[in-house]
Amino acid sequence: MATVLNTVSSIRFSNRGGRGVHHLHTSSFLKQVSVSLTRKRLVVRAAETDTNEVKPQAPDVAPASASGSSINQLLGIKGAAQETNKWKIRLQLMKPVTWPPLVWGVVCGAAASGNFQWTVEDVAKSIVCMMMSGPFLTGYTQTLNDWYDRDIDAINEPYRPIPSGAISENEVITQIWVLLLGGLGCAGLLDVWAGHKFPTVFYLAVGGSLLSYIYSAPPLKLKQNGWIGNFALGASYISLPWWAGQSLFGTLTPDVVVLTLLYSIAGLGIAIINDFKSIEGDRAMGLQSLPVAFGVDAAKWICVGAIDITQLSVAGYLLASGKSYYALALLGLIIPQVIFQFQYFLKDPFKYDVKYQASAQPFLVLGILVTALATSH
């Protein structure tokens, strides 16, 4: 009887509806099992099945990849369709959706300088600076981050280009170097174009590139610590492009450095949003992101608190500086952000992360421009 029970318990039935085949965990063909119990006869018939043909497969595509979006693939965000075109895969690794904040930072820096003029030359300079900050150096940062996150992505998002094998290791490394050298080349060109005696823009580009490297790469790997890593990310997205734009058209002053570093605390909050989708992999790899360290509920409040308190502090600074109209404008831009936080992010940071960012961040970046215009007067 024990032998019979062991044999019966080893049978695993597939879908309840049944498609005529039962997968069996045995090493040989099973033809028929007959068991007599008191006066009843239980018969279990299984089709002849070779278990060597039944092998578990790791997922290599996103759950919705069959209906994934080509636009999402080009922007480098989740819900992307699978792609075999190498150039589209390269663009996906560069995550174009992350470029606008850097481009906007250059605009804010140029505005803060008070010297930008709507001439062909100044517009051309700003476009090159935007290319340096966005496609080149941000593209370098994102590709580098994906390269060093390939083990985590194999857990969280195994369908991404690197862990899925859609692009080779040599191709990824080549892309990292091309983007880095292209960004540094643009920075050197801008210094010459602006007539700088000291290559300010170039050194900012070098510093930003180094920060990107130690953020993603061991042994420092700043992203292992949720506070340090997210602040470094916030500074990269807000402070560095602002400094580059202001240095290109004017002079970077200490008060602006302090103000933009303060704004980078809001960038820390924005960076936390992206940590929620990676909790499983971060925990498995020992990364202390804030959602891992503090839990989901605490982390979402830290996130919105960093964003809101930073902007309120800047508004207070502008008010104390006698720039009340700018302070009121900034306060007006904070209100819809708080509304969207309660409507989306605080309700479910996993489900509504993208929707929240799309709704609230335009008001955040407009507030940064208001602050930049205030510092220029």
Where does the pLDDT of residue 10 fall: very low under 50, low under 70, confident under 90, or very high at 90 and above? very low
pLDDT higher than threshold 60 for residue 375: yes
Give tens-digit pLDDT for 21-68.
344 343 443 334 333 334 434 343 433 333 343 333 334 444 434 456
For domain 68-251, is the CATH number 1.10.357.140?
Answer: yes
Fold classified for 253-376: Four Helix Bundle (Hemerythrin (Met), subunit A) (1.20.120)
Give the pLDDT confidence score for residue 70 in this predicted structure. 82
For the chain, domain boundaries: 68-251, 253-376
Which residue has 């100044």 as its token pair? 122
Give tens-digit pLDDT for 340-372.
999 999 999 999 998 999 999 999 999 999 999
Question: Which of 74-88, 96-110, 261-275 has the lowest average pLDDT?
Answer: 74-88
Half-sphere exposure of 92 (CA within 13 A, CB side): 25
